[in-house]
Amino acid sequence: MTGAPMARPGPYEPLADGFAADWWRGAAIYQVYIRSFRDANGDGIGDLGGVLAGLDHIADLGVDAVWLSPFYKSPQKDFGYDISDFRLVDPTAGSMEDFMRLRDAVHDRGMKLLLDFIPCHTSDEHPWFAESREGHDTPKADWYVWADRARDGSPPNNWLSSFGGPAWTWEPRRSQYYYHPFLASQPALNLHNPAVLDQLIAEMSYWSDLGVDGFRIDAVQCLSWDRDLRSNPPVGREGSNALIGGGPTNPFAAQLHYFDRAAEGTRAILERFRAFADANDIVLIGELADIDTSQAAAEFTEQGRALHAVYDFGLINCHPEVDSITAQLERRERLLGNGWFFNVFTNHDTIRAVSNLTHFAGAELREAAAKMLLFTQMTLKGGCILYQGDELGLPHPHLDYDQIVDPWAKAFWPTFEGRDGARTPFPWNDRQKNCGFSKATPWLPVMAEHARLCVRRQCDDPGSVLSFTRDFLAWRRTEPVLRLGEERMAGGERAPIISWTRAYKGEERRIVVNFSEDDAFMPVSDRWRMLTAPGCTTRREGHGIALGPLAFAILAPGS
């Protein structure tokens, strides 16, 4: 891609026969941010042993798979997303034996195991980069993205790091600049080089041989780059469909990222990854951001030719009000073709969903808002990824500047508070020190507002967000239409109602959500009957459905 969609053979075809056998299509995946989940070795940082200790909580939710954040060897400048060895476990996360025990335990509980994989860059402490920076004649000289300076000594083009400042850093040993889409300590790998692509596939193969079931691929929009190093054009008066994070003052949002994101060569890289995945019976789910993701998702997930699915930030970064959310849902449905989404409302990089998408809801409605968001996430077309704490309805906390550790936040403070609020320790038990996360001082503070929502308090409360999550996921398993069905947004509903229909093998389900703290009413014909499902309203009046604040319902054809 160079400012236009990736070329494809022709119009999208419908889903191939047999797609119902794809376990991942309607899967519910639980994302574990290891550093903040549970600390087993007493150093204040979550680890693999802590995931094992908390695994029954995850399994009891009824999810299909667990995705682990990076635990590879790393200097931790970006908390594991700066890898210095893909095949070693970082000491802060434990040992290889810890991983093997966790792998077995996940599989013993009937779940799949996905690992985070970061193919776009490494740490500047990786031996590959140490060799590459030494000169132009080393075997790995072109394993990273190097460029000569401009005539005036400045970087070769106007590309920016999404974390702030130019995306180029001068390396005196080569007398060249190297490219980094994120931190300067994360130099970009050159995936135009077949040897680099071969090596990355070998790194994935190492873990697939150990029995993992797939990978979440980090920042797939950064797999490639324009080899002519053309500067990006500015965003014009027409605006941009790319929804950019980093707060309102991030200069990265002022460019149309035609040449540093989803650029030439992306198609070939995706096809190579897919061939590896098919040969090894693993699943690849990509994180997609920084571009028009609704348009790009189809091309990144075209059936059988690219990744199996992507998740994007469209519903996280769009304006958090009902008209914008509805428009985003309608646009992605129109563009997706036979591609596949995982629905994500928050993750370790963003504001927690209750405080973002339902910011309008008062404290007394936080629990209802959390349930409504989970319901929406689990009934839209595609799979869903639940970030740790979603099942508790955790709000997003505020941290003071002296509490934050996120380099992205430090770069854009105070207009952007960064990622630490979503990464504070998981609250297990408010009767234990640090809510049961660790006996030592945690790497980020435990939040008082989270203690009141801990697992201990919610696990036996039938009305809690945790109980709703368990109950609805169990009910959803009995509804193939919600896991595999096509989707049609209603289009004609008036705010604050959002409604869509799912259809599969002659079955239909109509989903209705009141995305507000006011009462709402939706006219419904006698063709539709109310279904009894966890958390759903069944209140019907003569001409339609009465929905209380943040209420939701499911209907089926029939009287």
Residue the block writes with tokens 């707060």: 247
pLDDT for residue 9 is more than 90: no
Per-residue burial over 240-251, b = 16 or more CB atoms within 10 Å of its CB, e = otherwise: bebbbbbbeebe
Q: Which two tokens stand for residue 368?
A: 């209802």
Q: What's the mean pLDDT in 288-299?
A: 92
The model's pLDDT over 181-205, given as tens digits with 9 standing for 90+, comes to 999 999 999 999 999 999 999 999 9
Residues with Cβ < 8 Å from 380, sequence gap 6 or more?
A: 329, 341, 343, 487, 500, 511
**Cβ count within 10 A of residue 20:** 14
Q: Which residues of 365-387 are buried (b: 16+ CB within 10 A; e: fewer)?
A: bbbbbbbbbbbbbbbbbbbbbbb
Q: Quick one: DSSP state of residue 188? A: B
Amino acid residing at 241: N
Predicted confidence at residue 195, as pLDDT, reads 98
| Residue pair 180/133 in contact by the 8 Å Cβ criterion | no
Question: Taking each helix axis from N to C terminus, what angle separates 194-209 and 266-280, rounded to the nearest 10 degrees?
Answer: 30
Q: What is d(CA 412, CA 73) in angstroms, rounded to the nearest whole number? A: 28
Tens of pLDDT, residue by residue over 483-502, are 999 999 997 778 899 999 99
Q: Are the C-beta atoms of 424 and 443 separated by less than 8 Å? A: no
Compute the distance between CA of residue 117 and CA of residue 119 in angstroms, rounded to an integer: 6
pLDDT digits (tens, 9 = 90+) for 64-85: 999 999 999 999 999 999 999 9
Q: Tell me: the pLDDT tens digits for 341-400?
A: 999 999 999 999 999 999 999 999 999 999 999 999 999 999 999 999 999 999 999 999
Rounded CA gap, 548 and 72, in Å? Answer: 47
Identify which has the larger pLDDT, 55 or 305: 55
At residue 550, does pLDDT exceed 70? yes
Q: Is the pLDDT of residue 11 over 70?
A: no
Q: Are 31 and 386 in contact (CB under 8 A)?
A: yes
What integer pLDDT is reported at residue 495 of this predicted model?
84
Mean of pLDDT over the chain: 94
- Which residues does residue 385 pair with via DSSP β-bridges, in sequence order? 29
pTM for this predicted structure: 0.95
CB 335 within 8 A of CB 297: yes
**Tokens in use for 277?**
């995945």
Q: Please, which pLDDT band fits residue 559 given cuts at 50, 70 and 90? A: low
pLDDT band at 17; cut points 50, 70, 90 = low
pLDDT-above-70 percentage for the chain:
97
Reading across the β-sheet that carries 146-147, which strands appear in turn? 146-147, 176-179, 168-171
Residue 160, φ and ψ in degrees, nearest 5 = -115, 150
517 vs 1 pLDDT, higher one = 517
In this predicted structure, the answer to whether residue 1 has a pLDDT above a threshold of 60 is no
- β-sheet bridge partners, residue 423: none
**In this predicted structure, what is the pLDDT of residue 337?**
83
Rounded to whole angstroms, the Cα distance separating 514 from 372 reads 8
Q: Is the pLDDT of residue 12 over 60?
A: no
Q: Is the pLDDT of residue 46 over 80?
A: yes
Q: Which residue, among 497, 509, 548, 288, has the nearest Cα to 379 in the 3D structure?
A: 509
Dihedral sign, Cα of residue 159, residue 163, residue 168, residue 174 = negative
Quick one: pLDDT at residue 114?
98
pLDDT tens readout for residues 528-539:
999 999 999 998
Percent composition of the chain: helix, strand, coil (DSSP 3-state, to 5): 30, 20, 50
Q: What is the pLDDT of residues 98-136, one digit of tens each?
A: 999 999 999 999 999 999 999 999 999 999 999 999 999
Q: Are 325 and 285 in contact (CB under 8 A)?
A: no
Distance CA 147, CA 154 (A): 11
Please compute the mean of the pLDDT values over residues 419-442 and round it to a whole number. 98
pLDDT category at 302 given cuts 50, 70, 90 is confident
Please tell me the predicted confidence (pLDDT) of residue 5.
40
319 vs 88, higher pLDDT: 88
Q: Which helix (H) or strand (E) holds 546?
A: strand 544-547
- Residues 541-550, mean pLDDT to the nearest whole number: 92
Q: Which pLDDT score, from 0 to 100, does residue 20 have?
A: 79
The residues with which 112 forms a beta bridge, in sequence order, are: 65
